[in-house]
């Protein structure tokens, strides 16, 4: 299926249209937010803090008197930056290693998969927190760390998809011609497992967004006062019974983006004739 036909299939699906609209809205907002926000994200209002929505502050003020709408608009920028590049890294290395394991078989496959099983046995979030606490929470550290851990599950998925292809004639013909492993992986196997990896990349992106927000919620993500949805929820949660708006706005923003990505993943799976329930979750 070409890119144009895949896009048309997405747009024909109501869930695909809604999901794609939500994702594009958040990505576009992340790009233009610094130009359209009404206030500085760290400026404190002269009025009382935790004020409810008003004509001047549509989403109210947080407990420090900062405009919630401004911080919500800006809150997804670093999350999107880190998780988009983290997903690209995860899908790239995980897919390649999984395809090599499935193609080579034997000791190579055994060594790769036992290593993968070892990492899967480690509590993911604890190990993630340990690395970030040791090396800092700079964007590059977060990208590489999330890209590595979320790529581990991709190895298993790519290997499973490759095992279905290696027995087919086109792979056997390439082997008979003496093609190198890298050539077979890139030119023969990758085009035939691309659909599975495309759906998997959307799923991994949504999980990575949740993980990044969880890290910020726990204090290991974005450094204050930088606006971030997880951090905003963490800072305002204890006042939720008295002032819910500083929590509701970032929750709605994060939830709508996650829902949008999952709707796109569902629509992609249906358009490509895949079953998402067969994906292996990390």
Secondary-structure breakdown of the chain: helix, strand, coil percentages, each rounded to the nearest 5: 75, 0, 25
Would you place residue 282 in the very low, low, confident or very high pLDDT band (cuts 50, 70, 90)? very low
Contact 196, 160 (CB under 8 A): no
Instruction: Render pLDDT for 98-141 as a digit per residue (tens, 0 to 9).
Output: 999 999 888 999 999 999 998 888 888 888 888 888 888 888 99
Report d(CA 226, CA 78) in Å as an integer: 9
Task: Provide the residue ranges of all domains of the chain, joining segments of one domain with +.
Answer: 3-35+48-278
Predicted confidence (pLDDT) at residue 260 exceeds the cutoff of 90:
yes
Q: How many CB atoms lie within 10 A of CB 249?
A: 25
Just give the CATH number of 3-35+48-278: 1.10.3720.10
Report d(CA 212, CA 260) in Å as an integer: 17
- pTM for this prediction: 0.88
Contact 141, 273 (CB under 8 A): no
pLDDT score at 47: 64
Instruction: Render pLDDT for 220-247 as a digit per residue (tens, 0 to 9).
Output: 888 888 889 999 888 888 777 777 888 8
Highest average pLDDT, of 75-79, 163-167, 258-262, comes from 258-262
Q: Whole-number mean pLDDT of the chain?
A: 86
* Closest alpha carbon to 190 in 202, 182, 180: 182
């Amino acid at each position: 299926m070409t890119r144009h036909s895949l896009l048309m299939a997405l747009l024909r699906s109501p869930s695909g249209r809604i999901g794609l609209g939500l994702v594009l809205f958040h990505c576009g907002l992340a790009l233009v937010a610094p130009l359209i926000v009404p206030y500085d994200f760290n400026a404190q209002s002269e009025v009382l803090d935790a004020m409810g929505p008003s004509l001047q502050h549509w989403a109210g003020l947080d407990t420090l008197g900062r405009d919630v709408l401004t911080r919500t608009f800006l809150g997804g920028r670093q999350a999107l930056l880190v998780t988009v590049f983290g997903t690209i890294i995860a899908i790239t290395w995980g897919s390649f290693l999984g395809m090599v394991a499935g193609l080579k078989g034997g000791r190579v496959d055994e060594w790769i998969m036992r290593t993968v099983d070892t990492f899967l046995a480690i509590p993911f979030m604890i190990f993630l927190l340990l690395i970030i606490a040791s090396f800092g929470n700079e964007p590059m550290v977060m990208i590489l760390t999330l890209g590595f851990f979320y790529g581990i599950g991709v190895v298993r998925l790519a290997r499973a998809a490759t095992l279905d292809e290696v027995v087919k004639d086109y792979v056997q013909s390439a082997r008979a011609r003496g093609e190198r492993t890298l050539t077979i992986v890139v030119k023969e196997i990758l085009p035939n497992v691309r659909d599975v990896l495309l759906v998997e990349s959307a799923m991994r992106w949504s999980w990575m967004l949740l993980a990044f927000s969880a890290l910020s919620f726990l204090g290991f993500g974005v450094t204050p006062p930088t606006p971030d949805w997880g951090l905003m929820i963490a800072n305002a949660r204890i006042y939720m019974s008295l002032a819910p708006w500083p929590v509701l706005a970032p929750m709605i923003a994060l939830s709508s983006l996650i829902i949008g990505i999952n709707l796109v993943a569902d629509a992609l799976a249906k358009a490509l004739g895949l079953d998402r329930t067969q994906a292996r979750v990390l």
